[in-house]
Structure 1
Amino acid sequence: MDSAATSFSSSTPSPVDYIVLLILRPIAAISFVFVFIAFGWLLAWKLVLVHVPLVQEIFGLRKKPAKFKPQTRRISRYYNSINTRNSSTPGPGTEEAVREPS
């Protein structure tokens, strides 16, 4: 009976075990989750979010305005030439084309 009492008393948790179980383990688990989320956010920030214009605008990271493409493409040159041709010669239905010379 003495050996049974000794094994029973050695298997009972001490007050330190209760402190570890009730306080330190939840704190460690919560801190692990926060570190994991922070690492994921940092990784996403460095790889993707820095390049998103909306995020740049929200956090004030946009230093220079976005450059627009110049209108030197073939189609824009074609329409520009049509516009300049139309503005220099009167088209049908305008007053200058309808008026007869006197």
Structure 2
Amino acid sequence: MPLFFILSGFVQSDSSKKNIVKFIIGKIKSLLVPFLFWGLLFCRNDNYAEWKDVLYASSLSLSYAKTFSPLWFLPCLFFLLLFLYRLRNLLMTILIL
């Protein structure tokens, strides 16, 4: 799995010039919307607890929901990219000062 994170970093464009709001909206559209679409599509519609497990987004909760459990990668990548965006901007600020 670490290989997928490394590969996604290689294909990540330089987003340090983007506004944080535009960056977050872009990542929601490209990572979280497909996660919710496929996760909720594969879960049974009659059980509310399974929908809640999909929204929790851990690998274990996705397997409880009997949905496509490899989807845990998408929300994890979303939060990692947000963290790296803030870290990059913080380091740029420190290095400029």
Greater relative contact order: 1 or 2 (C-alpha under 8 angstroms, separation 6 or more)?
A: 2
**What is the TM-score normalised by the length of structure 1?**
0.28
Greater C-alpha radius of gyration:
1
Q: TM-score, normalised by structure 2?
A: 0.29
